């Protein structure tokens, strides 16, 4: 797939994020059947293809609300994925009351459990790597930025340790909500 030839409407480009590893932009992708869909295109600062992240997205196939993979491009190297609607967890929590924050926390916890049950741990969970869609009932969370994720080990003790590591962020969040 050549990013700027036929598939993506460049005029719709809107930068949505510049993280440590990559920069992301919002595009419209024309599907084979002629319909268009909103996508996020992620390019790594290194200029290398985000192959590892693409393979993990493919294997997760939406578990934990992760974006579905549309494909990868070679010119320039980029990852094309479903746009997860909503705000980052950090943004979403602003202005919510305690009860609403608790609902967001539960949705995030459930997304992480789904992610783990699909056989991966994330290794980089923080307030900008979870997207919260408050337009759905119940609220739905999407885990994003899976480039650092790894397969959970088979050994039950190690497996639990890795899951717990991922949960550190959410345990802190729960503490902050409880204190508020």
Chain positions contacting ligand ATP, by CB under 6 A: 16-17, 19-22, 24, 40, 42, 67, 81, 83-84, 88, 128-129, 131, 144-145, 147
- H-assigned helices in 26-155: 51-60, 89-93, 98-117
Partner whose footprint covers residue 21, from ligand ATP, Mg ion, none (CB < 5 to 8 Å by kind): ligand ATP
- Pick between residue 87 and residue 159 the one whose CB is nearest to ligand ATP: 87
SS3 82: strand
Partner whose footprint covers residue 81, from Mg ion, ligand ATP, none (CB < 5 to 8 Å by kind): ligand ATP
Which of residues 140, 145, 146, 149 is near Mg ion by CB under 5 A? 145
Give CA–CA dist 139/107, Å, rounded: 6
Residue of 88, 18, 84 lying closest to 57 (CA atoms): 84
- Pick between residue 53 and residue 145 the one whose CB is nearest to Mg ion: 145
80 within 8 A of 41, measured Cβ to Cβ: yes
Shortest Å distance, C-beta 103 to ligand ATP = 20
Q: Does 19 bind Mg ion (CB under 5 A)?
A: yes
Element (H, E) at 47: none
Shortest Å distance, C-beta 67 to Mg ion = 12
Report residue 2: phi and psi, to 5°.
-100, 115
């Amino acid at each position: 797939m050549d990013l700027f030839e036929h598939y993506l409407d460049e005029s719709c480009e809107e930068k949505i994020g510049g993280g440590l590893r990559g920069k992301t932009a919002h595009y419209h992708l024309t599907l084979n059947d002629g319909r268009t869909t909103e996508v996020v295109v992620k390019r790594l600062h290194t200029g290398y293809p985000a192959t590892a992240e693409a393979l993990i997205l493919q294997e997760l196939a939406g578990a934990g609300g992760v974006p579905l993979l549309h494909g990868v491009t070679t010119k320039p190297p980029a990852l094309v994925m479903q746009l997860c609607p909503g705000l980052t967890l950090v943004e979403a929590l602003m202005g919510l009351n305690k009860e609403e924050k608790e609902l967001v926390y539960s949705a995030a916890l459930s997304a992480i459990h789904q992610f783990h049950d699909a056989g991966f741990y994330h290794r980089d969970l923080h307030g900008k790597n979870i997207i919260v869609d408050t337009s759905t009932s119940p609220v739905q969370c999407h885990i994003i930025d899976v480039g650092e994720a790894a397969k959970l080990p088979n050994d039950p003790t190690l497996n639990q340790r890795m899951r717990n590591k991922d949960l550190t962020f959410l345990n802190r969040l729960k503490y902050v909500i409880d204190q508020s």
